[in-house]
Amino acid sequence: MAKIFLSILSLLMLSTASASATTPDGGIVPRPRHAELRDGVFTILTTTQITHYSDLRPSACYLAEYLPLQVRQYNADSRGDIVLRIDKNLEKEGYILDISPEGITIDGGSAGGVHNGIVTLLQLLPAKIYSGRQHLPIKIACRRIEDAPRYAYRGFMLDVARTWMEADEVKLFIERLSHHKINKLHLHLADDEAWRIEILTHPELAQKGGFRGPEEVVAARYGAFDRRYGGYYTQDQMREIIKFAAARNIEIIPEIDLPGHSHTLARVRPEILCRYTPDTNASLGYDTRDLLCVSREENYALLEDVIAELAALFPSEYLHIGGDEVITSQWQRCPDCQALMRRKGMSKPTELQHYFTARVSAIAARYGKRVGVWNEASEGSTLSKDALVYGWKDVATCRKAAAKGFETVVMPGAWFYFDMRQSADEAGHDWAAIFDVKKPLSFSLQAQGFTAEEMQNVAGFEGAFFSEVYLSHRDYDYNYIYHLTYPRICALSEVAWAGGGSWEEFYSRLRDSHYGRMEAMGIEFRLFPPKVSYSDGQLTASSSDGGTIYYTIDGENQGEHHIYTSPIKTTTPARYAFHTRRGPAFSPEAGVKERFSQIRPKFTLTSSMTESERYKFSGVESYSRVGRTTRAGKQGDWILYTFDEAVKCRRMLIRTGNVQTPRYLFEAGYLEVSHDGKNFTRVCDLDHGCGLIENPTQPIKAVRVVCTQSGNGARFVTVQSPKVWPILK
Ligand code: ACM
Ligand code: ZN
């Protein structure tokens, strides 16, 4: 039965693939501006040659990586079969792709335009082209596509500070972005958790700041608590990445996040901090500060050294200097910053940020760079009008920056932060929103109230992946970053290139054509959860995505995956979990509602650590908010949950630390369970501050979390309510 189902499915997939191959736009993503089919086919043979105008050799070689053909420079006598040319009359990144029975020409307004034409050509070929398993000859339907991007800035931000990504991983990410006509990679190279780029005049920044761990100057955060963790890009490696990206029409924009988010810089060069003695009792001696002192002149000299090297290394006209989330309390405690405020007649500490931004922008300008800044840095009156503002916070801040006349990159977190989870029970953050691919696709400046003038200042769009939780997902059997970012990057590309469009039209291209390409690329993208319903004693599952639906039954066959073929008769529907797979892509689990419900048993919380005045334990007991202790945990510290009545459940999750950004936790420890409230048995070690009790054999009267490692690089521990899943019927 399963075999029959699968072969019907593959027949269906074949027929849709051939249908899209004969639509004018070929089901390509992003949607081209104009496409028309012509009569006839062109056949790519092993003898077909790629010829290129003189400065297009990198583009020709890029094409030849996918189509193993001979590459030659163009001359009038040997015209060639696939011809790459520049036509200055076209828009800079625009192209015309013409496929006739005699040959293929790609005319681009620039090398970038030619690259975009190549990306389109590849999408018109069988998807196997991406996995290197497609053999020649290939027949391709004749067409003419005239295309150009709606926006000049089509970016993606990668946070390599929180989670280290090797140069080759970054290159793979770039390769996949380039298949979506994304043209900027904003690399978040320095933050509280790491400094990731070699600075020759100050080698300690990367050599020390590139690593975290128990013996490092920067404490472990977000995982890898027991070892030295991290890395940095040498300037040679970065030059190689820049070159690799440039051959794929991607410009790298480096970011060093200043003056906040500078904890790593402060750990490596503590003298950059404000001049006062911090109270480090709560952090067990660790200085947790993260803000550059604005009044310290030597800080500008240090930054000038850094900027001079970055300016020489990165060809981009932009240097992103951060500017987000500055918590000014450190400046308020600094006698020198206070004196500076008085001298300059400033009334608010935020004016210190604007003073700092103006000075650092002036340094960047001396090295020929325009600055990129997060929206907060544009809120004063002193930012140079040639700055590029990245509106991350919300739509209103994007509009405000654009209304002030700044060129603005639109990337509000609730639409474009692809580190947000895609549904309630999936992995990822949720502080901005929980959303799937439909949401960024639906983004419209008009619908969001941008005026015509504001729209004129929109440079484009950027998706983002901040990597606080990536590190703790590195040992998964799939690559978390791709599951979080695709297909949402497809939607970003559609909005930034084509200006968006209807979900139905986009989804038909995505599912019928582009899913197959991403499968061949090996991207572990996210599918929609299957729809599951239960009636008349039957469980039914369906998926709009194609692929195969699998299910598991709790308590049976150690989680064996069955292929779903027809409705399942059962009286215990909540024990069934369904998911869809297509090649490396998969969906989250779905099931009937009861499967995901939780209970909130009453309990009392006590600890060897005192509770914070502001974040009391009573909020944890009432399941309404997190609690905090007044210091980091020491070895032997404990947190005890005592339930009013012993709890019968199938799972209980006890967590220290924040959910969104796993910090403020017991970095190492274990859980003890008691069934009588007196005798405790150790049941599991903590993993990233969490302990999971699965299928307890007796009701749980109390759980104790015990700390085995002193310190967590912070000044408190976050205490959470337990998550409890009832026994399923
Ligand atoms: C940001 O998300 N703080 C830029
Ligand atoms: Zn200061």
- DSSP-derived secondary structure for 540-583: EEE-TT-SEEEEEETTSGGGPPEEP-S-EE-S-GGGEEEEEEET
Structure tokens at 332: 């308020």
Q: What is the CATH number of the domain that holds 93?
A: 3.30.379.10
Contact 74, 53 (CB under 8 A): yes
**0.85 surpassed by pTM:** yes
Q: Is ligand 1 within 6 A of the CB of residue 392?
A: yes
Report, as an integer, the average pLDDT of 416-435: 96
- Domain contains 164: yes
Answer whether the bond into residue 259 is a cis peptide, omega within 30°: yes
698 Rama sector, left if φ>0, alpha if ψ -120 to 50, beta otherwise? beta
Query: CA-CA distance, 459 to 445, in Å (whole number)?
Result: 12
Average pLDDT across the chain, whole number? 94
| 570 Cα–ligand 2 center, Å | 67
Asked whether residue 16 carries a pLDDT value surpassing 60, the answer given is no
Instruction: Based on the fold, state whether residues 219 and 353 are members of the same structural domain.
Output: yes
Of the three residues 595, 615, 650, the one that is the final residue of a domain is 595
| 272 Cα–ligand 2 center, Å | 9
Report, as an integer, the average pLDDT of 621-631: 98
Nearest to 253 by CA among 443, 419, 390: 390
Instruction: Based on the fold, state whether residues 341 and 428 are members of the same structural domain.
Output: yes
Pairing mode, if any, of strands 184-191 and 194-195?
antiparallel
Tens-place pLDDT, residues 17-42: 333 456 888 999 999 999 999 999 99
Tens-place pLDDT, residues 658-713: 988 889 999 999 999 999 999 999 999 999 999 999 999 999 999 999 999 999 99
Report, as an integer, the average pLDDT of 603-626: 98
Tens-place pLDDT, residues 97-116: 999 999 999 999 999 999 99
Structure tokens at 185: 């990679």
Report, as an integer, the average pLDDT of 440-459: 98
Instruction: Based on the fold, state whether residues 535 and 515 are members of the same structural domain.
Output: no
Q: Which residue has the tokens 């000075």?
A: 359
Query: CA-CA distance, 336 to 350, in Å (whole number)?
Result: 15
| 716 Cα–ligand 2 center, Å | 24
For the CA of 374, the nearest atom of ligand 1: 4
Cα→Cα distances 592→527, 566, 601, Å: 18, 16, 22
Report, as an integer, the average pLDDT of 602-619: 98
Least confident among 134-138, 154-158, 367-371: 134-138
pLDDT for 554 equals 87
Asked whether residue 480 carries a pLDDT value surpassing 60, the answer given is yes
Structure tokens at 284: 């067990």
For the CA of 324, the nearest atom of ligand 1: 3
| Residue of minimum CA distance from atom 3 in ligand 1 | 324
Q: What is the CATH number of the domain that holds 669?
A: 2.60.120.260
Q: Which domain holds residue 45?
A: 18-147
- Domain contains 509: yes
Q: What is the CATH number of the domain that holds 314?
A: 3.20.20.80
Asked whether residue 15 carries a pLDDT value surpassing 80, the answer given is no
DSSP-derived 3-state class of residue 26: coil
Structure tokens at 16: 């849709």
Instruction: Based on the fold, state whether residues 648 and 553 are members of the same structural domain.
Output: no
pLDDT for 77 equals 67
- What does the buried/exposed string (b/e) look like for 582-594 if buried means 16 or more CB atoms within 10 Å of the residue's CB? bbbbbbbbbbbee
pLDDT for 728 equals 85
Q: What is the CATH number of the domain that holds 580?
A: 2.60.40
Report, as an integer, the average pLDDT of 349-370: 98
Tens-place pLDDT, residues 361-395: 999 999 999 999 999 999 998 999 999 999 999 99
Instruction: Based on the fold, state whether residues 193 and 237 are members of the same structural domain.
Output: yes
Instruction: Based on the fold, state whether residues 540 and 640 are members of the same structural domain.
Output: no
pLDDT for 78 equals 66
Asked whether residue 476 carries a pLDDT value surpassing 90, the answer given is no
Contact 578, 551 (CB under 8 A): yes
Instruction: Based on the fold, state whether residues 109 and 201 are members of the same structural domain.
Output: no
Q: Is ligand 1 within 6 A of the CB of residue 390?
A: no
For the CA of 417, the nearest atom of ligand 1: 2
Q: Tell me, what amino acid is at 287? A: D
Residues in a beta bridge with 372: 320, 388
| 650 Cα–ligand 2 center, Å | 53
pLDDT for 6 equals 34
Of the three residues 126, 147, 168, the one that is the final residue of a domain is 147
- Domain contains 379: yes
Structure tokens at 260: 């906040």
Nearest to 189 by CA among 214, 175, 209, 168: 209
Q: Could you tell me which residues come within 8 angstroms of residue 186 by beta carbon, excluding any fewer than 6 positions away?
A: 155, 156, 157, 158, 253, 255, 320, 372, 390, 462, 464
- Domain contains 13: no
Query: CA-CA distance, 515 to 66, in Å (whole number)?
Result: 18
Contact 22, 512 (CB under 8 A): no
Report, as an integer, the average pLDDT of 645-649: 98
Query: CA-CA distance, 114 to 50, in Å (whole number)?
Result: 13
Query: CA-CA distance, 679 to 660, in Å (whole number)?
Result: 34
pLDDT for 80 equals 74
Tens-place pLDDT, residues 311-326: 999 999 999 999 999 9
Query: CA-CA distance, 512 to 65, in Å (whole number)?
Result: 25
Q: Is ligand 1 within 6 A of the CB of residue 271?
A: no
630 Rama sector, left if φ>0, alpha if ψ -120 to 50, beta otherwise? alpha
Report, as an integer, the average pLDDT of 199-203: 98
- Domain contains 381: yes
Instruction: Based on the fold, state whether residues 82 and 141 are members of the same structural domain.
Output: yes
- Domain contains 5: no
- Domain contains 474: yes
What is the 3 state secondary structure string of 277-336?
CCCCCCCCCCCCCCCCCCCCHHHHHHHHHHHHHHHHHCCCCEEEEECCCCCCHHHHCCHH
Using most ligand atoms within 8 A of CB, pick from 157, 392, 465 the residue to mutate for ligand 1. 392
Report phi then psi at 86, rounded to 5. Answer: -100, 135
Tens-place pLDDT, residues 266-308: 999 999 999 999 999 999 999 999 999 999 999 999 999 999 9
Q: Which ligand is nearest to the CA of 335?
A: 2
Instruction: Based on the fold, state whether residues 561 and 476 are members of the same structural domain.
Output: no
pLDDT for 646 equals 98
Contact 159, 466 (CB under 8 A): yes
Number of independent structural domains in the chain: 4
Of the three residues 483, 498, 521, the one that is the final residue of a domain is 521
Nearest to 410 by CA among 401, 394, 398: 398
- Domain contains 307: yes
Instruction: Based on the fold, state whether residues 286 and 379 are members of the same structural domain.
Output: yes
Q: Is ligand 1 within 6 A of the CB of residue 394?
A: no
Instruction: Based on the fold, state whether residues 332 and 461 are members of the same structural domain.
Output: yes
Q: Is ligand 1 within 6 A of the CB of residue 304?
A: no
Residues in a beta bridge with 389: 373, 408
Residues in a beta bridge with 374: 390
For the CA of 261, the nearest atom of ligand 1: 3
Report, as an integer, the average pLDDT of 422-447: 96
Q: Is ligand 1 within 6 A of the CB of residue 327?
A: no
pLDDT for 13 equals 37
Tens-place pLDDT, residues 559-569: 789 999 999 99
Instruction: Based on the fold, state whether residues 649 and 706 are members of the same structural domain.
Output: yes
Query: CA-CA distance, 246 to 258, in Å (whole number)?
Result: 27
Using most ligand atoms within 8 A of CB, pick from 157, 374, 398, 411 the residue to mutate for ligand 1. 374
Q: Is ligand 1 within 6 A of the CB of residue 324?
A: yes
Task: Dihedral sign for Cα 434, 440, 446, 447, please.
Answer: negative
